[in-house]
A and B are shown apart, each in its own frame.
Chain A
Amino acid sequence: MSLLSIRNLRTEFQSPSGIARAVDGVSFDVEPGEIFGIVGESGCGKSATCRSILRLFGGAPARIAGGQILLDGAGDLAAMTERELAQVRGRDAAFIFQDPLTALNPTMKIGRQIAEVILRHRKASRAEAREAALQLLRDVHVTSPERRLDAYPHELSGGLRQRVVIAMALALRPRLIIADEPTTALDVTVQDQILRLLKERRDSLGTSIILITHDLGVVSQICDRMAVMYAGRLVETGRVREVLDAPSHPYTRALLAALPGQVGRDRALTPIEGAPPSLIAPPPGCRFAPRCTRALARCTQGDPPPLAPRAGAAPGHLDACILDEVSDAAA
């Protein structure tokens, strides 16, 4: 049984010019012990999707307009009251933000912040909580952890801060960690260390991780399965090597073709022309069709196509393109 099943999730944001459907009918499952990547460009709804799970909208005028978020053993998070959901946060599922500085209280020592997370959910003495915090810092390979307990966030480097945030997320041994661009603000050598750390936690504790990123390289490095998101919808999903090595949706292909490193220096890169559609009044049919070089008239009619398997595709490799054969091989 899946740890998390998201069914037809719809999340709306109130904006001055109307209601933006940031997440518009998204469904996917995350298995126990799996690292699931969601990739897409800015504004595609990947962040809104993962924030919907624990309803962490940070005060933005957002609401879940429909669908189910079924967490094994906890029920439908989308149907819970704020109070019920507060019990799930941290205990069953924890969230790691892109910028660790905003996730930490600047006026509180690291040790106390971690201890607070523990004390909020279980009975322990202050000394026990502090000891647990120390162990958590050790688990995420913070150097000289005893000293860091009494440090303030601003005294730590970016990489150390993100380790502290991960330690806090791990504090209650949640079965699911949702990480929203956890390494985007970090240098590449530190990113590498943090990604290895997340993978190590999954390997040792069997924690499931949803990793949101704009970087296909990061997905390639640590994810098992992935979904590609465009304009509020999933357009392709499957095992990482299948999606990246044999992408079947034109958007995934275009995204990969735009990356430097895929062509020789003597050839121009292939950008995707145009811009993503409005989420307030999206065009009919496939939302990528207006920018798709292969689009036919029928691509721009009716509802957006659902994810479906393609003949000959690997099991679980689905895409949302109605064209029969995307023949111009990308890989």
Chain B
Amino acid sequence: MTAKGSTSAAPLGAADLRASTQITSREELWTIVVITVQLALALLIVHAFQLESRTFFHVMVLAAVGFPFHALLPARLRLPMFALLSLASIVVAFGARDGFFLIMLGLVLIGLCHLPVPMAVRVPLLLVTAALFAVWRMELLPAPWSVAIWPILASMFMFRLALYLHALKHDGQRPTPARTLAYFFMLPNTCFPLFPVVDYTTFTNTYFDRGATQIYETGMRWIARGLFHLILYRFVYLHLAGDPTALHTLGDLVQFLLATFLLYLRVSGQFHLITGTLHLFGFRLPETHHLYYLSSSFTDFWRRINIYWKDFMMKLVYYPSYFWWRRWGGTTAIVAATITVFLLTWLLHSYQWFWLRGGFPLAPQDGLFWAILAVLVVQGSLRELKQPRRRTLGRGPAWSASLAVRTVATFTVICVLWSLWSTESVAAWLMIWLAAGNVAPGDLWLLGVLVLGGLLVAGRAWSVHPTPDASPHPFYRRPTLQSTALLVGLLVVGTTDLYAWSSPRLAAVVASLQRSTLSARDAALKHRGYYENLDNASRMSANLWSVQAARPRHWVGLSSTAAWRRRDDFLGGDLQPGARIVFNDQPLTVNRWGMRDRDRALEKPKHTYRIAVLGPSHVMGSAVADGDTFSDALERRLNREADQKSTIRYEVLNFGVAGFSLVQQLAMLEERALQFRPDAVFITDSSGLNGPILPHLINVVASRTTIPYPELEAIIGQTGVRALAGDGVPAPFHSVRSLLNAAGVRTRMPFHEANHRLRLSIDDVRRWTLRRLAEVTRQHGAVPVFVALDNVLESPAVHRGVLEEAAAAGFIVFNLLDVWQGREKDSLRIGAWDDHPNAAGYRVVAEHLVTLMQQSRAELRLTEGLRDVPGSP
């Protein structure tokens, strides 16, 4: 490790300090103006890229407006003003009522810290109060405030209370009310539940301890850096971080490992924004991260990543543990203290998630991650005790091979460990390594380029700073210029109209970063969440969590209601005939045939063109009332538009069932829909139609349900997933199961492995199902139509050849995948947490279907009936 050196002037004496924090010169005033303009640029970037939340934008506006006033205030008024601004931001974010309660609950905690009783009494009182708060957090007791206040209130107090108490006990200075309020309610905390653990002593000691403009310039540089990190994060999240269950090649695996670690950019971006904003109000806090991707050892990594957490642990855990254990020797003390730190980090991580998201996750992969990291850090510490690492005060060599190799090796191991921490389970993590054995052309080149690039970058000692001399920085290294250049650069990049004509692909990629959307993986998880409880709140990405958190508690999947009928056959379940419930706020009625439809006669009336519509939830009409599904809208539309001279009437029968996969639509078609002798069969599915097939077939195999299709049975049999259907202990990999079986231990394939194996044959399953659907439909004299329709998504999904496959299978293809583009999507979907179309959305679908039916009149054998409608969409 090399010395940072002092990049700024030495600390000032008290009198000089007071003088230097006042803005007296024209140059300093000009700096205030420049920084205010930079803040305006930052706000434009936040708006252009829709970064973080609306609350974040409002808080940044408050900071940007408050900064110049604050900077021009007399020094003695600044801290009170910052405290007031912080309290105001709480009201802005939560509204008057919840804001009031949040502040009051916080004041209760602060009051307990200052009770005129010994610390031995105060601490238990605080613990009891925290326990009461936890009961409220779990909503076990009614409260006059919204549950939404808890993540922010908790992030303000759950760790800072301990540091505050420590300072009360050991620091000489008694805190002032303004400083205490500023410390706990600090402005940026209102919009960031994940917040660096700011140390109270540091918070106090670094307050305007340098020249004011110098602090402000550093803050602005960090804000610019934070925005850059957040935009980079979005690129990684949307375009690089894939689904761990969909890794096929070594290249996929390498990309997944890299991207998973790079997702941490969101945390470092937020923390830069937070500490940068605090700098604008005089709090010259240290950096929260320091080039953590360039750690040359695991102890180095621990020291560079989330430095505030490391310092928090050092102060409250490591040093007290060390001093307690050192009666057994220094080495024992260091090992014991380090292990204690990592154990507590694991537990406190779960404690934190309890407050932020509910639940108390203690997943095995979390424990494994921290345990392995602890072992690596302990090893590193013991090595450093014997052989201290080299330090230098000046500039080291330009490039070091040893440093390069150590850094790349450390980075690689950290990526592997991080992937363990991020996957759903240890079993799921083991499955990703199956992709390593499949080396696609170009994978080795990719690996080579990454390693070589990594070595080139990592061999340079980036932390070295030359000792300051009297000469000023060259103009291009001045902080103000650097941060302005970065901000302007981000704005230019965000203005895609400037270069879309010459680089349309780049413009499209940048445009994709300018919306807060879910990645393909998270969108699939969200879709899964319509049918099952996603109880892994702590493992969700922040993006998915923010969507899930908006979901009303009564918003459940169909299988949790009385309208669902579980079956022990290949269908797995369907709608309960005669059910009448309220499903997600809307009446849902099931007729005697098990259809979400009005009552229908089995016998087709004369002069009736009958359409049987099959599909999942957006056919059934999740969260819309009876009569508002797209089948209903289509029937009304068709009959309204029917040629007045025609005697043909239309019936559109809704056989949709939420959660139904393509294979279940086949079973429903053969069991029920064809009995109604439809003239056309609309098989409706989204572009992500593989998604529901996998879990359905895995459930079928696991429950040993008979698959009534020999060809499908053959495809599944070839994957080897029949080993899932056992009573034994789940053991990954065939070789391991064989060994255990030989030793007399009964085993079965784990679900994750079955999912992986089946996924490799999913294309065959899909193509077979499409062919079978079309064949069976035609055999019964009906016309097969494939309707490609997604929920109301922000951007159209990737087709992946589904439309071509459907056409090749013999379907008429109605492509509605772009139906939502160019429309105000919020007015056409149920809500932020539920992308299903609402009634208005389904009317749009019906309009499009009518147009497509008109265009395919001959294929649909509509000899009469539909008249041309001018100006159709």
**Are the chains A and B members of one assembly?**
no
Interface residues of A (CB under 8 A from B): none
